[in-house]
Amino acid sequence: MNLPAAAPAAHLLQVAVSTPAHSALGDLLSYACDRPLPPGTLVRVPLGRREVLGVVWDAPAEPPPLPAGMAPRAVAGVLEGMAPLDAAWRRLVAFAARYYQRALGELALAALPPQLRELTPEQLARRMRRTSPAFPPLPQAGEGGGEGCKNGHNAQSPAHPCPLPQGGEGVVGSISLSAEQASAAAQIDTNPGPFLLFGSTGSGKTEVYLHSVQQALAASPAAQALVMVPEINLTPQLEARFRERFAPLYGDAAVVSLHSGMTNPQRLKSWLAAHAGAARIVLGTRMAIFASLPGLRLIVVDEEHDASYKQQEGARYSARDLALWRARDQGAKVILGSATPSLESWHASDPAVGRYQRLEMPSRIGAGALPRLRLIDMGQQPRGAIFAPPLLAAITERVERGEQCLVLLNRRGFAPVLHCHACGWKSDCPHCSAHQVFHKIDRTLRCHHCGFAQRVPRACPSCGNPDIAPVGRGTEQLEEQLAQLLRNVITPERRAARVARIDADTTKAKGALEEQLAQVHAGDVDVLVGTQMVAKGHDFRRITLVAAVQPDGALFSSDFRAPERLFALLMQAAGRAGRDARYVAAQESHPEMWLQTWHPDHALYAALRHHDYPAFAAQQLAERAGAGMPPFAHQALVRADARSQETAQAFLQAAAEAARTAALPGLEQVFIFPPVPLAVQRVAGVERAQMLLESPQRGALQRFLAAWQPLLHAERARHKGLVRWLVDVDPQGI
């Protein structure tokens, strides 16, 4: 491709492009164009020897001067036919880049659909003619824009991109809300929020979301709503409910999804529909927070406590936190929903703090009872038992009555490690400081950190002993054991009990998850074994018993958030039992949660027994307040990857010393801990270390981090063995 050389006298544009990591280039680069372009316009520009997509940005009051003797390169092309990204979107990206300490261009381009980043102006023009409503042409030199609608589009365009709803703004059908649902919905309708919807599992939070979305869209023909869920596997059933409710009002195309499980053309189509205002409702995972939604009036963050809302690669943003910022910036309402809110949100909704309005829905729909918790002390059970006899008897009884059971173990594979008892060899990954997991179905050892896989050896590679054995348990082993233990159990349909497994290994193929969930809903599965991906959000109507087999590990983790996550996971898992009150009543049974533990007297399990999240949260917040941990302090991690652990830690230590020597702003309120290796310190042959920063003042921490960036870039040049470094603001795992 022939890249343009310096342009003749022309308009100078400031363009955000994704520059190489740690290049220390400025946030915006200067390019020349033969006409002025409004901020938010997408352009193709030369960058080195490549041509890349860029976003025309708001010009600073004093544009940076060009180096002497250097002329700006010319814009290669303008992506016509698509309305510019509006000021609200640009403010969101700019805030996220500033807060999470990333380059503006990196975040702006990562927020766009992958396929859009690759299209030429001609390709985009053809696509827009095929699938999208027309937009007014971009203004030429000396031309101004026309009158805009609420979405920022030209109202004089012959094909206005904001269609009026089909079928009027009325209510589809008659949806009867419970008293608790009606009270919560009324509060959301009349108050500004933000709202924390604290509803027990099965209390009908989704119906409140549907009501609130309906109210938001009815208020304006240009209004849009964003509904986020933490994981891809939760989007199909949510999309089905939203289409059922809103397709009769606004047409089937008014509801779109945005998540990484879609193909690139699908993602681009949904994104363009949202950008044009044709999509009134966008359902998605964390990436959807950056969708272009000119008419945004409501954001819903379901399961707001879930750690999946925090990006763990590249720009480590929190979609939940950005939802709060974006709603405030655009004058939209935001609803955070959960049966086990994050402790940060719970604290913010304390009336004494008053940042969020807490709405409570403690009862299940249909007067359904919450599951009883049955704790099994594994110290009193037969040695080596995978399933305690009382639990196995309870599962057998349920299956013989035609009910379904869910068995939870948050570890896939057959066993965490293979072990030779003769010489002590373990199936360690050659590239990571972690074990390779034994997968019995395909007889492989796989590292779940770097992806390295190999066949299971016939004998110990160290001593030749043929008797190497699996140690520990994974979902594969549970599935196999249950199938064996239940082989003689007969269901009311006079067939043998069926055991199935749903985890990341069984759902790799396209459509596999939907097919397996359909089998569960149809009653073709009697016992479902799975990881956390089936423990939340799913509406299984016939499951009446849930069992957690090995939950104790998180009780003694070095991560202070581990108890919070364990409590949330177990509460969410328990919520899968007894969701259909009429079915439970007809079966004359009571839903149960069985928990096998070596620590039955632990305070976490005592709170879980009574489904008492407020008591658990109060105890955890008291501990964190005493220790000065979030939400009573603010944290950031600096992580370094290097060829050796010594190099990684030396870089971090030098960066800390440079910050102290320079007396950076905010330093007096920031405590810098010594660098330490990560829990899994080597991944894919790269050593990893981290250094924690903590401050009682968020502003002080942000000032320090911003001033520290040039010093971090400078230190990187002095440590040749350093592979990369990054700053993780508000980390979710330490």
Binding residues for Zn(2+): 420, 423, 429, 432, 447, 450, 460, 463
Residue with token string 């009555």: 401
Beta-strand relationship, 634-642 and 686-695: antiparallel
- For CA atoms 113, 117, 121, 124, the dihedral sign is negative
SS3 44: strand
Residue 30 CA to residue 71 CA, distance in Å, equals 9
The dihedrals phi and psi of 709, each to the nearest 5 degrees, come to -55, -50
Q: Strand 42-47's sheet: what is its strand order?
A: 29-33, 11-16, 50-56, 42-47, 77-78
SS3 581: helix
User: Which residue from 65, 60, 2, 7 is spatially nearest to 31, judged by alpha carbons?
Assistant: 7
DSSP string covering 258-314: E-TTS-HHHHHHHHHHHHHT--SEEEESGGGGGS--TTEEEEEEETTT-GGGB--SS
Contact, 205 vs 302, CB < 8 A?
A: yes
* Residues with Cβ within 8 Å of residue 354, at least 6 apart in sequence: none
Contact, 554 vs 618, CB < 8 A?
A: no
Listed in sequence order, the DSSP H helices in 502-640 are 512-521, 562-574, 581-587, 603-609, 613-627
Listed in sequence order, the DSSP H helices in 191-234 are 205-218
Annotated binding residues: 420, 423, 429, 432, 447, 450, 460, 463
User: Which residue from 11, 2, 88 is spatially nearest to 46, judged by alpha carbons?
Assistant: 2
Three-state secondary structure string covering 126-188: HHHHHHCCCCCCCCCCCCCCCCECCCCCECCCCCCCCCCCCCCCCCCCCCCCCHHHHHHHHHH
Contact, 513 vs 392, CB < 8 A?
A: no
Residue 205 CA to residue 307 CA, distance in Å, equals 20
Residue 281 CA to residue 246 CA, distance in Å, equals 9
Residue 419: how many other CB atoms lie within 10 Å: 20
Residue 194 CA to residue 75 CA, distance in Å, equals 42
Cα 336 to Cα 192, 297, 304, 339, 690, distances in angstroms: 13, 15, 6, 10, 31
Contact, 87 vs 39, CB < 8 A?
A: yes
User: Which residue from 592, 586, 548 is spatially nearest to 566, judged by alpha carbons?
Assistant: 548
Q: Is 689 left (phi over 0), alpha (psi -120 to 50) or beta?
A: beta
Long-range contacts of residues 444-453, Cβ cutoff 8 Å, at least 24 apart: 445/418, 446/413, 448/412, 448/413, 449/680, 449/683, 449/684, 450/683, 450/684
* Residues with Cβ within 8 Å of residue 9, at least 6 apart in sequence: none
User: Which residue from 275, 303, 280, 292 is spatially nearest to 326, judged by alpha carbons?
Assistant: 292
Distance of alpha carbon 655 from its chain centroid, rounded? 31
